[in-house]
Structure formats: structure tokens, C-alpha cells
């Protein structure tokens, strides 16, 4: 049952035209440098790369591309700043105060930063503002966490007190993607600086400017120079130079699974720790007792928000066979109503995908799925909008009826494409959901509270939503299993990821002792 005869394959009609409510006021400078030691720098002879607007294909600005030597110098500088103790050994009350000031300044600058992100990524402005509006919470949360965090006193054998403190790691290398440039940078920066580390961060070459702006904002808010350095450049050169530098004590990457393997291998050679938040293929399990209308809304949100370019996007929808036809009708109708258009228009619901390359990759996967017999409920092709958006990389919201043997069931598309399969009972739903190389997230739609928890227990993923999707909070662990990566962002987990224990064992008995003169001495 790949398709439904009654639905046909007609594509969505009536794409949103360019709106009069376009809000863009953002102005990019001609060229941006790197941000090192509290200032923007343009190393002599450095190359630049272009950043473009994916909604129109227009050039936005140039950005300095750092080579291995400059990256190495910045890692040494970050190490020196760490060693100086100006931040790493500063009072936690001071660190928490700076974190709170960053949160205040960030809140005052959300609109500018959001518009910058819209121009770089093409994501609809209403979504970008909603997402960025929550960023200050990460600084507030980790500021509060470091201020209130307490060590432990394990029950050590004998006349000893053992106290255990968490201390920073040193210089941490952060590698971030283009899809949520600021959100993902902030998820990593906040715990890393709260705990006293120094940072070298390489943003995506596709969307580096807002991250550079954030670094300057942090300096103005009181973060000492050299604690947060932003090093734009190419992944295989600047990115690899960070991963293989021997001053780096931890690499924290959000990116694709192949990048995760490359980064892990380079960091492993220096015995540096690694956190990798990688790809996904999240299943949405729609049971027969779910509120189907709400599940349709939830699935559309899960799948098409950010043009499907999120790691936890609802990529596979599994629907109980008794509700499959009804659900697919409703989801298809909803997808066809999504308004594509100018990302700066407040009424636009979906923008383009990030680049020409990305769109061709998405189209290639969909074309191969069609050849393998996928049924196109809707979409399955590029979307064409009037000028100037005719040069943008728009792709239709796409729903395919597939079979789990197909390539598109397993591969991450990273675009607005969801594949659908019916299931006959709970056991089959669980088996299909776990039939993936990825294990980042899953959503369960049911009103049966016992089933909800029973099924959640069986999901081989790091995050499960029940009757919802995409929900995230600075306090809630975020990360996956299998090819979705190792380690966790957010919450106490992130505090632990960015610290290590220092265990101090104190002798409390004031008596002479000599190991070699004590025949019955206990060693441990």
C-alpha cells in the first residue's frame, strides 16, 4: 500500500507570492574577518569565501577563510588564556554574572540576529524569531547551574575525606552546522564557558556571520578576550586543523555522520574527548487511538519546519493501517497548503533549502525513490517562485509512500521530504521505528498512556516525544544513539561533558605511619 488511489499525485498549487510584508532591514558588510582574542582580525594573505542568500541566490558578503597556521595560532592563544586563569579560575559568581549579561544583551539583539540568520539560511522569519527568542535561556540556565553546582564526597575507606570537584577541560573545539547557526553554537558555548573552558569555534561556511556577531556580543558583555574565538574556514582545512591540534581537549561537533567519523578519528589521535550530534531519520508512530487531527498538525510541523532541515525532523511517518488513508489524505492536504515564499515575509511558512547542492541531493534521493516505486502523495519536485525567488533553492513539501527496503527509508534527506508506511500492530510499529542506522529521536502519538510509555521504552533513540515533536529545553538532554552520535548536549550532561573530576583525598588521622613497617596494612 504505497499510495492511495483516491489521492492521486497532483502537486500543491498556489505558492505564496512575494509579500509586501517583507521585513528585511539587515545589512551585511562587504567582508567579515575571524574573531580572535576579542577583536575582528583579517590575517594577511588569507583567502575569503562567499556567503549567499539561498532564497534568491544573491551574494551577501565575503568571510575570511583561515588556514591551518592561523587556526593553530588561535588554539595556542586560547590555551594561554585558559592557563592565565582569567576565566578558568575566576569566581563562579563572576562567571554567572557575565552569563546573565550575555543573556540580557542577546535578548536585546534577537531581531537583528534573527534577520541575519534568515538571510543566510532562508528560514522563514517567524520561525527564526521564535527559535532565537529562547537562546538567552541557555546562558541563564548554565549561569545558574554553575552557580549552584556542588561537588561530591564519596564514602572513602579509612581515615580520609575524599571530596570531588568538577574542573574545566582546557581548550574546546566547537564545529557547528548551518541549519541552526546560533542555536547550535549557543547550546555548546553556554556550558563550555560556564564551566571555565576556552573555545575555538568553526561555524559553517554557509552561515558564519551571526556566530561572529555573537562572539563580539559576548566580549562586550564581559567575557575576557580569547575565551571565545570564532575561526571561519572550510571544514576539511580549518575544521580538521582544530580537531587535530594538540591543545584541544574536547571536540564538540554537530554535523553529518561522515564528518562525525572524520572528526572523531582526528581528535582520538590526541586522546581528546568527543561529542558528536549527528544525523537522524526520526520516526513518528501514529497509533489508531491518537487524536488524528492533532497528529496531522504535529507531523506537518515535525516534517516541514525549517524546510525539513533539522536533525530530528519527522522523516518517517508510521501510521496504523486502520487510519492510514485518512491520515495521508489530511497530511497531504496540509502540505499542499504550506505557503512558500520570501523568508522575510511574516506570512511565509517555508523558505528554500540551503543551497543548490543540497537541493540536487534531495531531488536525487526522491527521483531514485520514485524509480524504486515510491508513491508521490504530493511534491517530489523543485518549487518555482516568481523573481527574485526564481533563483532560490525551493523544493516542494513532499510526501512519499514507500517500502522499508528503499534507499530513502534509511538515508537522511535533510529537506522537506517525509516517507510513509502503514503498520498493523504495535510490535510492527516498534520494529519499523528502530529499523534505521540512526537513533536520534522518535515521536509517539497515542491517547493510551500505558502504550505511550511502553513504546517509549522500546525506542532505540536518545529523545522521545509523546504527542508532540521538536521540543527542546536547556535542561533536557539532547543526543542520539547509533549513527546519530555520542554524548549529550543540555542539562547536567553538558556540564559533565565540559568538565572532568578532580578527586582530593585528605588524611584526617594525625598519626605517624610507615608503609614498610606495617605488616598488616591495608592498601585499599
Question: Kind of pairing, strands 34-36 and 160-168?
Answer: unpaired
The residue (of 262 and 295) whose beta carbon lies closer to ligand NDP is 262
For ligand NDP, which stretch binds (CB under 6 A), given 9-17, 103-111, 133-141, 229-237?
A: 229-237
Least distance to ligand NDP from the beta carbon of 18, Å? 28
The residue (of 264 and 298) whose beta carbon lies closer to ligand NDP is 264
Question: Which residues, numbered 440-459, are part of the site for ligand NDP (CB under 6 A)?
Answer: 440
Question: Does residue number 181 form part of the binding site for ligand NDP (CB under 6 A)?
Answer: no
Query: What single DSSP character describes residue 243?
Result: H
Question: Does residue number 151 form part of the binding site for ligand NDP (CB under 6 A)?
Answer: no
Query: Whole-angstrom Cα distance, residue 92 to residue 149?
Result: 10
Peptide linkage before 388 cis (omega within 30 of 0): yes
Question: Does residue number 214 form part of the binding site for ligand NDP (CB under 6 A)?
Answer: no
What letters, b where the CB count within 10 A reaches 16 and e where it falls short, cover 133-146? eebbbbbbbbbebb
Question: Which residues, numbered 423-442, are part of the site for ligand NDP (CB under 6 A)?
Answer: 440
Q: Known catalytic residue: 311?
A: yes
Question: Going by C-beta distance under 8 Å and a sequence separation of 6 or more, which residues neighbour residue 6?
Answer: 325, 329
Among 176, 195, 303, 398, binds ligand NDP (CB under 6 A): 176
Total residue length of the chain: 524
- 5: number of Cβ within 10 Å: 7
CA dist 19 → 24, 346, 484 (Å): 12, 9, 38
- Grid coordinates in use for 464? 522521545
The residue (of 123 and 202) whose beta carbon lies closer to ligand NDP is 202
Question: Kind of pairing, strands 282-286 and 441-445?
Answer: parallel
For ligand NDP, which stretch binds (CB under 6 A), given 221-229, 249-257, 362-370, 403-411?
A: 249-257
Question: Going by C-beta distance under 8 Å and a sequence separation of 6 or more, which residues neighbour residue 111?
Answer: 129
Among 102, 186, 192, 243, binds ligand NDP (CB under 6 A): 243
The residue (of 278 and 317) whose beta carbon lies closer to ligand NDP is 278
Among 117, 127, 140, 205, binds ligand NDP (CB under 6 A): 205
| Cβ atoms of residues 389 and 342 within 8 Å | yes
Query: Whole-angstrom Cα distance, residue 523 to residue 327?
Result: 67
Question: Does residue number 280 form part of the binding site for ligand NDP (CB under 6 A)?
Answer: yes
Q: Known catalytic residue: 277?
A: yes
Question: Does residue number 401 form part of the binding site for ligand NDP (CB under 6 A)?
Answer: no
Least distance to ligand NDP from the beta carbon of 114, Å? 18
- 17: number of Cβ within 10 Å: 14
Catalytic residue among 117, 205, 277, 426: 277
Binding site for ligand NDP (CB under 6 A): 175-179, 184, 202, 204-206, 234-236, 239-240, 243, 253-256, 259, 262-263, 277-280, 311, 412, 414, 440, 485
Active-site residue numbers? 277, 311
Amino acid at each position: 500500500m504505497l499510495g492511495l488511489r483516491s489521492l492521486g499525485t497532483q502537486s500543491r498549487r498556489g505558492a505564496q507570492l512575494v509579500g509586501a510584508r517583507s521585513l528585511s532591514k539587515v545589512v551585511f558588510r562587504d567582508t567579515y574577518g575571524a574573531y580572535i582574542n576579542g577583536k575582528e582580525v583579517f590575517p594577511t594573505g588569507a583567502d575569503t569565501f562567499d556567503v549567499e542568500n539561498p532564497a534568491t541566490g544573491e551574494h551577501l558578503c565575503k568571510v575570511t577563510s583561515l588556514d591551518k597556521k592561523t587556526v593553530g595560532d588561535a588554539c595556542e592563544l586560547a590555551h594561554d588564556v585558559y592557563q592565565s586563569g582569567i576565566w578558568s579560575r575566576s569566581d563562579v559568581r563572576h562567571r554567572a554574572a557575565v552569563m546573565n549579561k550575555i543573556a540580557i544583551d542577546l535578548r536585546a539583539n534577537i531581531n537583528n540576529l534573527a534577520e541575519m540568520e534568515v538571510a543566510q539560511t532562508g528560514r522563514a522569519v517567524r520561525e527564526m524569531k521564535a527559535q532565537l527568542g529562547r537562546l538567552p535561556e541557555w546562558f541563564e540556565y548554565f549561569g545558574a547551574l554553575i552557580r549552584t553546582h556542588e561537588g561530591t564526597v564519596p564514602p572513602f575507606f579509612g581515615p580520609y575525606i575524599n571530596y570531588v570537584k568538577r574542573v574545566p577541560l582546557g581548550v574546546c573545539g566547537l564545529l557547528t552546522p548551518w541549519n541552526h547557526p546560533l542555536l547550535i553554537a549557543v547550546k555548546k558555548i553556554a556550558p563550555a564557558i560556564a564551566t571555565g573552558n576556552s573555545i575555538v569555534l568553526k561555524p559553517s561556511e554557509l552561515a558564519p556571520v551571526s556566530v561572529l556577531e555573537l562572539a563580539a556580543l559576548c566580549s562586550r558583555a564581559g567575557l575576557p578576550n580569547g575565551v571565545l574565538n570564532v575561526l571561519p574556514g572550510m571544514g576539511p582545512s580549518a575544521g580538521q586543523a582544530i580537531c587535530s591540534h594538540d591543545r584541544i581537549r574536547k571536540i564538540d561537533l554537530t554535523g553529518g555522520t561522515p564528518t562525525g567519523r572524520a572528526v572523531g578519528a582526528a581528535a582520538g589521535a590526541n586522546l581528546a574527548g568527543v561529542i558528536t550530534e549527528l544525523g537522524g531519520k526520526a520516526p513518528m508512530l501514529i497509533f489508531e487511538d491518537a487524536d488524528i487531527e492533532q497528529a496531522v498538525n504535529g507531523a506537518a510541523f515535525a516534517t516541514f519546519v525549517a524546510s525539513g532541515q533539522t536533525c530530528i525532523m519527522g522523516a518517517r511517518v508510521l501510521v496504523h493501517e486502520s487510519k492510514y488513508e485518512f491520515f495521508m489524505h489530511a497530511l497531504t492536504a496540509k502540505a499542499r497548503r504550506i505557503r512558500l515564499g520570501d523568508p522575510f515575509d511574516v506570512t511565509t511558512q517555508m523558505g528554500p533549502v540551503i543551497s543548490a547542492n543540497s537541493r540536487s541531493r534531495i531531488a536525487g534521493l526522491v527521483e531514485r525513490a520514485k524509480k524504486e516505486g515510491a508513491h508521490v502523495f504530493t511534491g517530489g519536485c523543485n518549487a518555482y517562485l516568481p523573481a527574485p525567488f526564481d533563483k532560490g533553492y525551493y523544493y516542494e513539501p513532499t510526501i512519499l509512500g514507500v517500502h522499508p527496503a528503499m534507499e530513502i527509508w534509511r538515508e537522511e534527506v535533510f529537506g522537506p521530504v517525509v516517507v510513509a508506511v502503514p503498520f498493523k500492530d504495535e510490535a510492527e510499529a516498534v520494529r519499523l521505528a528502530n529499523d534505521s542506522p540512526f537513533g536520534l529521536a522518535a515521536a509517539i502519538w497515542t491517547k493510551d498512556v500505558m502504550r505511550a510509555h511502553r513504546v517509549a521504552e522500546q525506542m532505540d533513540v536518545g529523545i522521545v516525544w509523546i504527542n508532540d515533536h521538536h521540543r527542546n529545553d536547556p535542561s533536557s538532554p539532547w543526543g542520539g544513539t547509533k549513527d546519530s552520535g555520542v554524548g549529550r548536549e543540555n542539562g547536567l550532561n553538558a556540564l559533565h561533558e565540559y568538565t572532568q573530576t578532580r578527586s582530593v583525598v585528605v588524611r584526617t588521622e594525625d598519626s605517624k605511619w610507615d608503609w614498610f613497617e606495617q605488616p598488616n596494612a591495608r592498601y585499599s
